[in-house]
Amino acid sequence: MTDLSASRRQHLIDAAVSTLAEDGIVEFTFNKVSQRADVSAALIVHYFGSKDALLEAAFRSVARQLNTYATARLRLAAGPRARIEALVDAHLGHNDYAEETARVWLSFWGEALHVPQLARVQRAHQQRMLSNLKFDLRQLVDASDVQPMADTIAAMVDGVWLRAAMNGGSALQNGLARDLIFDFIARNLKGAPPSPTATSFDTINPATGQVLAT
């Protein structure tokens, strides 16, 4: 695999990602990708062997790109709180390709349920995110809270991202969800009193709607 072939491969992968974002997984076809890359369909087979292999390579490329971005932001952050903030911000996509990435990711999510090769990539990416979150959470919250909090934060990030894809990126602009995540962490810091639960939510004064002070 020469230097030239590596850059050629990346060129084809980029065309595959664009096709996925624009046309979706159902119309993800050799003709579409090869037209966009200005090559013949046979060339893609020559480089990747099969359509599934191309799809997996495209998936890996997007995941790696996302991870590179997050890692770069992690390096700039000092302390566990700043690192979690960096992780969340990186995944909420304050970059130019956020919307395309979200659309592609949605395609992958749907198909990873049925293609084991894609499922493995998705699981690895999710584990890396969870592992990063847990590393810093361990320094902030009680040990028993680390795992469920990491799961919850990751779920919230995905939810915001999903809606951004569906609604054209507008959801990313209001930072309420971002603030919510950081609130969530702040209220569960080590040694902090338990936050009001759904049960106590039910018992507040219905007339004034006032929360009971802790």
Partner DNA sequence: CTCTATATTGAACGGATATTCAATAGCGGT
Partner DNA sequence: ACCGCTATTGAATATCCGTTCAATATAGAG
- By the criterion CB under 8 A, which residues form the site for a copy of itself? 23-27, 79, 81-82, 85, 103, 106-107, 109-114, 122, 126, 140, 148-149, 151-152, 154-160, 162-163, 165-166, 171, 174-180, 182-187, 189-192, 195-198, 200-202, 204, 206, 208-211
Contact partner, 85, from a copy of itself, DNA, none, Cβ < 5-8 Å per class? a copy of itself
Measured from the CB atom, is 51 or 81 closer to DNA? Answer: 51
Q: How many residues does the chain have?
A: 214
Measured from the CB atom, is 3 or 96 closer to DNA? Answer: 3
Shortest approach of DNA to residue 164 CB, angstroms?
A: 28
Shortest approach of a copy of itself to residue 191 CB, angstroms?
A: 7
Contact partner, 182, from DNA, a copy of itself, none, Cβ < 5-8 Å per class? a copy of itself
Distance separating alpha carbons of residues 188 and 147, to the nearest angstrom: 13
Amino acid at 60: R
Residues 6+ apart with CB under 8 A from 135: none
Contact partner, 43, from DNA, a copy of itself, none, Cβ < 5-8 Å per class? DNA
The DSSP secondary structure of 137-201, one letter per residue, reads: HTTTS-HHHHHHHHHHHHHHHHHHHHHHHHHTTGGGTSTHHHHHHHHHHHTT-TTPPPPP-HHHH
Contact partner, 50, from a copy of itself, DNA, none, Cβ < 5-8 Å per class? DNA
Measured from the CB atom, is 15 or 88 closer to a copy of itself? Answer: 88
Shortest approach of a copy of itself to residue 179 CB, angstroms?
A: 5
- Say how many C-beta atoms besides its own lie within 10 A of residue 92's C-beta: 20
Measured from the CB atom, is 7 or 144 closer to a copy of itself? Answer: 144
CA of 90: how far to CAs of 66, 165, 172, 190, in Å?
A: 8, 16, 12, 25
Helix axes 98-112, 51-76, angle to 10 degrees: 130
Distance separating alpha carbons of residues 106 and 166, to the nearest angstrom: 9
Please give the residue ranges that form the binding site for DNA (CB under 7 A): 2, 4-5, 8, 27-32, 38-43, 45-46, 50-52
Distance separating alpha carbons of residues 201 and 20, to the nearest angstrom: 44
